[in-house]
């Protein structure tokens, strides 16, 4: 059945029942756990290596039953099947949405053919090409123009062409080859290129220009700055003759590109032989597992990159084949819908208790908010309810000493996902602390926080500690603050892939219930267009300056007056 007609979720019988149910059932996690010794077990599920405890959420079995009914009435299963099959569910761009095809293992049957394209063959061919290049860089066979091996890879990209690679690079630090490192340039603020090239040796630096469209102002500007930096530094070192052929030769050895627009790559001066492709059915924020991950394939190697892809695929298979009652991304997506549309939550915290995941919340901000920050459905009709919540977070325990106060005792309900791994990369022992296992201490915080949020502390408990009566209210914790605990064995390439795929599918489920196109991003277009229109006003075009609205015009004049020349 086609999923082309969105259903208004608020018009469903399930939604009306959920609202009534929510009005009648006051959340009481203390009482719910006391009354049901099986609650933790009943609400805990495994998806590949991810052990996910949903029991500290503000739901009963009836809530979950109604949410599953909501999924049925909004035809989430049809839309999921349509995505995996390559239907054009990205309606506003008339495209298939096939990031799941990027991680299908070689030889998967039946083969996937979409719009006449043999998707599996093309994906494998591009992976093979990327892996061969990565091996050459890792082994030292690929050298810079002066014959030195590459030591630093600088990825130039923004949005999905940056956030995924940088997040995964940080997450997989223990797997990065000795003697190789990556840097990531994204911001058009020239400070970014200046800082990221600081201290680099041009002879051992490789730039990867990563841009799906190869038309993004920030990336192309930064790529030109990097190219100039390369030429100037090589010349200064006496390693570059002063002619175009020599300059082209330097670009050929120090620049590669990743894009769906290989013609534009060539126009920039990068040899198409040094370019890796992908396809328009991969959204930018869903592309870290495509050749956009070339920096990662170099840093951790093809074998680890293959494990990374296998992690995604394991969650894809879980999502595709597990009944919704036990389907982790589906249940988590439905819980998010419940919090946004029934409980009235506006934000969602993601709190990794793993330092290597410190960029994961930033990565999720693009994935979730660029996907589900929409006010119209995929057929253009306006939504009649809230959609994408604000995702945010910081690694624990840093967040505990910053914003957890508001999660514990503020007036807002903030559902929070706590993510941890059982085996740390660095199992250090604090000799001065009585041989304390530091990771265990860290994990004690992970467990303590969700416990405190769920069960709180009553006035009686506070009084029993001898607290002065006037201080009691300030020291009461209401509890019933919803959390999900996700525990993985270790931060392996596979687990990182699993975590990304988990959130991709959670995002998908929310978008499917809301009837929105989670795969376009028209909202970022207007600002980009206006920046191009405003730019001349900053460089002496009086007419362009006169065309501005009073506020923008005055701000530009102020900037021009203050700018040091």
Residues found near ligand F6P in the complex (CB under 6 A): 158-161, 211-213, 216, 219, 284-285, 370, 521, 524
The yes-or-no answer on residue 24 being catalytic is no
Shortest distance, CB of residue 143 to ligand F6P, whole angstroms? 28
Integer CA distances (angstroms), 150 to 61, 138, 177, 194, 245, in order = 56, 8, 12, 20, 22
Shortest distance, CB of residue 358 to ligand F6P, whole angstroms? 21
- Distance between CA 556 and CA 561 in Å, rounded? 9
Q: What are the φ and ψ backbone dihedral angles of 341, each rounded to 5 degrees?
A: -95, -20
Residue 96 and residue 88 in contact, taking contact as beta carbons nearer than 8 Å: yes
Residues of 141-169 as b/e, b for ≥16 C-beta within 10 angstroms?
A: ebbbbbeebbbbbbbbbbbbbbbbbbbbb
How is 49-69 classified by DSSP, letter by letter?
A: TEEEE-TTSS--HHHHHHHHH
Shortest distance, CB of residue 289 to ligand F6P, whole angstroms? 14
Is the bond leading into 397 cis (omega within 30 degrees of zero)?
A: yes
Nearest residue (CB) to ligand F6P, 145 versus 282? 282
Nearest residue (CB) to ligand F6P, 231 versus 519? 519
Shortest distance, CB of residue 287 to ligand F6P, whole angstroms? 7
Answer left, alpha or beta for residue 380, where phi above 0 means left and psi between -120 and 50 means alpha: left
Shortest distance, CB of residue 219 to ligand F6P, whole angstroms? 5
Residue 482 and residue 415 in contact, taking contact as beta carbons nearer than 8 Å: yes
Integer CA distances (angstroms), 98 to 12, 84, 506, in order = 29, 7, 16
| Helix, strand, coil distribution of the chain in percent, nearest 5 | 55, 15, 30
Catalytic residue among 346, 401, 451, 558: 401
Nearest residue (CB) to ligand F6P, 212 versus 439? 212
Residue 316 and residue 189 in contact, taking contact as beta carbons nearer than 8 Å: no
Nearest residue (CB) to ligand F6P, 451 versus 528? 528
Shortest distance, CB of residue 291 to ligand F6P, whole angstroms? 12
Residue 503 and residue 366 in contact, taking contact as beta carbons nearer than 8 Å: no
**Closest residue by beta carbon to ligand F6P:** 284
CA nearest neighbour of 179 among 153, 216, 215: 153
How open is the CA angle 375-376-378, to the nearest 5 degrees?
140
Shortest distance, CB of residue 217 to ligand F6P, whole angstroms? 9
Residue 35 and residue 90 in contact, taking contact as beta carbons nearer than 8 Å: no
- Tokens 């192309």 appear where? 220
Nearest residue (CB) to ligand F6P, 223 versus 499? 223
3-state secondary structure of 266: helix
Nearest residue (CB) to ligand F6P, 286 versus 392? 286
Nearest residue (CB) to ligand F6P, 105 versus 215? 215
Shortest distance, CB of residue 29 to ligand F6P, whole angstroms? 38
Element (H, E) at 115: none
- Tokens 């007036």 appear where? 411
- Distance between CA 349 and CA 372 in Å, rounded? 16
Nearest residue (CB) to ligand F6P, 361 versus 395? 361
3-state secondary structure of 113: strand
Residue 430 and residue 496 in contact, taking contact as beta carbons nearer than 8 Å: no
The yes-or-no answer on residue 370 being catalytic is yes
β partners of residue 54 = none
Nearest residue (CB) to ligand F6P, 160 versus 165? 160
Catalytic residue among 170, 307, 370, 389: 370
Catalytic residue among 346, 528, 529, 558: 528
**Is the CA virtual torsion 425, 429, 430, 436 positive or negative?**
positive
The yes-or-no answer on residue 385 being catalytic is no
Shortest distance, CB of residue 351 to ligand F6P, whole angstroms? 25
Positions marked catalytic: 370, 401, 528
């Amino acid at each position: 059945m086609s999923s082309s007609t969105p259903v208004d979720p608020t018009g469903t019988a399930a939604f009306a029942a959920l609202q009534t149910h929510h009005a009648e059932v006051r959340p009481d996690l203390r009482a719910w756990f006391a009354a049901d010794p099986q609650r933790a077990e009943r609400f805990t599920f495994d998806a590949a290596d991810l052990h996910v405890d949903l029991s500290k959420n503000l739901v009963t079995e009836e809530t979950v039953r109604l949410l599953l009914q909501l999924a049925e009435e909004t035809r989430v299963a049809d839309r999921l099947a349509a995505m995996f099959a390559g239907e054009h569910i990205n309606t506003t761009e008339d495209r298939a949405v096939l990031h799941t095809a990027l991680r299908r293992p070689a030889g998967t049957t039946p083969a996937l053919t979409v719009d006449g394209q043999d998707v599996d063959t093309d994906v494998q061919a591009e992976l093979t090409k990327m892996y061969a290049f990565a091996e050459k860089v890792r082994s030292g066979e690929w050298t810079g123009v002066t014959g030195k091996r590459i030591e630093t890879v600088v990825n130039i990209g923004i949005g999905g062409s940056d956030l995924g690679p940088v997040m995964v690079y940080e997450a997989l630090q223990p797997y990065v080859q000795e003697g190789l490192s990556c840097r990531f340039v994204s911001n058009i603020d020239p400070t970014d290129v200046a800082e990221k090239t600081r201290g680099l040796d041009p002879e051992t630096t490789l730039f990867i220009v990563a841009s799906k469209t190869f038309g993004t102002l920030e990336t192309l500007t930064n790529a030109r700055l990097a190219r100039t930096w390369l030429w100037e530094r090589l010349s200064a070192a006496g390693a570059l003759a002063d002619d175009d052929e020599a300059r082209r030769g330097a670009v050929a050895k120090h620049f590669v590109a990743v894009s769906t627009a290989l013609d534009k790559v060539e126009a920039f001066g990068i040899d198409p032989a040094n370019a890796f492709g992908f396809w328009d059915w991969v959204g930018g924020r869903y592309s870290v597992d495509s050749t956009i991950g070339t920096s990662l394939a170099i840093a951790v190697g093809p074998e680890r990159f293959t494990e990374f892809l296998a992690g995604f695929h394991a969650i894809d298979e879980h999502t595709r084949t597990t009944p919704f009652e036990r389907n982790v991304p589906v249940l988590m997506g439905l819980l998010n819908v419940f919090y946004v549309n029934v409980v009235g939550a506006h934000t969602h915290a993601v709190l990794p208790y793993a330092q290597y995941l410190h960029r994961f919340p930033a990565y999720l901000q693009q994935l979730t908010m660029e996907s589900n920050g929409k006010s119209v459905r995929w057929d253009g009709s306006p939504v009649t309810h809230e959609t994408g919540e604000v995702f945010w977070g910081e690694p624990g325990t840093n967040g505990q000493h910053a914003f957890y106060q508001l999660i514990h005792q503020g007036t807002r309900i903030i559902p929070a996902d706590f993510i941890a791994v059982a085996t740390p990369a660095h199992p250090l022992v604090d000799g001065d602390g009585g041989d304390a296992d530091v990771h265990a201490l860290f994990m004690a915080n992970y467990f303590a926080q969700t416990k405190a949020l769920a069960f709180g502390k009553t006035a009686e408990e506070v009084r029993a500690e001898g607290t002065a009566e006037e201080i009691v209210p300030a020291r009461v914790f209401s509890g019933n603050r919803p959390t999900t605990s996700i525990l993985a064995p270790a931060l392996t390439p596979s687990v990182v892939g699993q975590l990304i795929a988990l959130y991709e599918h959670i995002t998908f489920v929310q978008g499917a219930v809301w009837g929105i196109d989670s795969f376009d991003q028209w909202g970022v277009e207007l600002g980009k267009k206006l920046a191009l229109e405003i730019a001349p006003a900053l460089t002496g075009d009086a007419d362009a300056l006169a065309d501005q609205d009073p506020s923008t015009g005055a701000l530009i004049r102020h900037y021009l007056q203050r700018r040091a020349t």
